[in-house]
Structure 1
């Protein structure tokens, strides 16, 4: 799911660094190095005032797509002081709701409120089956998870599956840690409005944003919708984009094709590619390799409220190349843009 921007007063472009730790040729040793590099990159981004580290959750992927975003987030928080971590999305129906409430509360305390959780349903039946969850009941599982989180974070006893329970400690953030409902359907929008939670759309869907606001009025809840711009590309920086596409284009294509294969027909996602080869992927623009100058120009074209999303380790790109991209952004782009705070 792509990073997104708030609907509301315009702001300067925000910055995000995305990590999903994909590597189709990884060994345990090389993947360990990649994980440690991602933490070092997060600390680098934090030192330079970037907005958020974005991560996500998938299970059983042969390319190692990150299955444990909360563990990753906790490690980022241990290495940083200011930057937030946006988990977009956390597959809430796959978790034990009480344990999830505890884990997020601890991370909220540890980070001083820097964890942003987007609760999504996911799109892969195999992930539900692997975790012993019934895909047909995913909506009810999502409702139970969200309702349990909100009740648990009060620190007071509440009814749960026929018994009274209490979850401690209370989170740092009050009334509760940042929690969004993710999705691109009316069911997700209505769920968010009913629970009084903000909605995080995974595509540019102004009609759905309007539907959400109408449901908020219906339920007398406060509504905030976060929606990506019509075009929010995933970026890699290079002084020579032609060379980078020729050398690393297959990495970008691998990730694009795997992600596309997981999407249901007609699914809407700002990061969905339909490309079948590297040339088509480059023309499409979902993944872009840009020079620093082009990135500064892109920031201007995005306008206030846009977002620059760096994806330095996309598809298993070598760690050294990822560092090159990140250093270029920090030295040649950041000084020329007025980045806004994170989501």
Structure 2
């Protein structure tokens, strides 16, 4: 099992000269303490999460500030970008980092993001796969034809070329269909437990491995990365005491996560139906739900059974989402425990090269 750091939040709505301090300092820690990768999302128009509008820009900075850790998007929303721009940006990141870039792609999340797209929101999955095909061809050095403003076809060939012969790709997966399509194409998958149990996702991972095998790919070569909310302390009670208030606020600003959690428990919940007092109770219930069987919150020893369950389900890499706790000292103080957990699990299966 490999361990990496995943970033998702961060208050971009305030003018804070230290807004990227946690990102830069935790990246430096990961680089020198054996963690495998850094995952940066693409998120638009969110006060919490507004630090990450473009993962390529972030990773251009991290490329020259780190030496060892892999630099991956989590994820590039492919329908929002021209394929030429994606290929050029990530080839630059690959060059600056000495060949450490990796791209996870996604079809998109909210409607408001699609002010950046010329295509309707309903076509986003088709656009994602079309964009993937074009970007991979451009990164391989091929010419790809695109229409100019007058409708004329222009053959585009991008520079610089990446250092890696093939930049590794992931696709953000939720539906079984996407897992299977990833297997058909022979690319890696990035998934989570938002709205699902591990047993639910394990079925999809098996379908992914079967699709790899049926389409001529090594079923063991495909990499499954699972994003997991993570906060570790010396003991379980300290971890819970430190995380319950910030995690409650995190769920308050991300109500859709709470509704997804309720749905996964077969509860038909609409937050608009709740009073403020009831909502507070539900938030605490949601925190407990995330802590139990959906997160790495506790001590390195207490979460080990869940790490083993992830491995048994076919997960190769745990991407530890750390910045849902908006407290620099708490998060940085927990990183040595993540490194300890990673070290203890390093020999659990042979590493994959992506």
If asked which structure has higher relative contact order (CA below 8 Å, sep 6+), I would say 1
Q: Which moved more, 1:274-283 or 1:140-149?
A: 274-283
Distance 1:151 1:28, change over 3 A: same
Contact residue 153 and residue 171 of structure 1 kept, 8 A:
yes
Q: Which residue of structure 2 aligns with residue 172 of structure 1?
A: 163
Q: Distance in 2 between matches of 1:135 and 1:267?
A: 26
Among residues 21, 25, 40, which one is paired with 1:55 in the alignment?
40
Cα offset, 1:36, TM superposition? 2.5
The alignment's TM-score, normalised by the length of structure 2, stands at: 0.75
Distance 1:42 1:282, change over 3 A: same
Matched, 1:236 2:238: no
1:203-222 deviation per Cα after TM superposition (whole angstroms, max 9, x unaligned):
65354445555655776566
Among residues 313, 318, 329, which one is paired with 2:327 in the alignment?
318
Matched, 1:19 2:7: yes
C-alpha RMSD over aligned residues: 3.6
Among residues 310, 324, 346, which one is paired with 1:338 in the alignment?
346
Matched, 1:125 2:115: no
1:72-125 deviation per Cα after TM superposition (whole angstroms, max 9, x unaligned):
122222111111123222211111111111011111122232122111112211
Contact residue 237 and residue 328 of structure 1 kept, 8 A:
yes
The alignment's TM-score, normalised by the length of structure 1, stands at: 0.77
Moved beyond 6 Å, runs of 4+: 262-269
Contact residue 257 and residue 276 of structure 1 kept, 8 A:
no
1:120-169 deviation per Cα after TM superposition (whole angstroms, max 9, x unaligned):
11221121135454202213321331121122112233322322121122
Q: Which residue of structure 2 aligns with residue 41 of structure 1?
A: 26
Cα offset, 1:299, TM superposition? 4.6
Among residues 202, 205, 209, which one is paired with 2:201 in the alignment?
205
Distance 1:334 1:121, change over 3 A: closer
Q: Distance in 2 between matches of 1:45 and 1:222?
A: 30
Q: Distance in 1 between matches of 2:263 and 2:53?
A: 22
Matched, 1:145 2:145: no
The secondary structure found in structure 1 opposite 2:76 is: strand
Distance 1:267 1:220, change over 3 A: farther
Q: Which runs of no fewer than 5 residues in structure 1 stay unpaired? A: 1-12
Matched, 1:282 2:272: no
Contact residue 312 and residue 325 of structure 1 kept, 8 A:
no
1:164-199 deviation per Cα after TM superposition (whole angstroms, max 9, x unaligned):
12112221111x211123323355346545655444
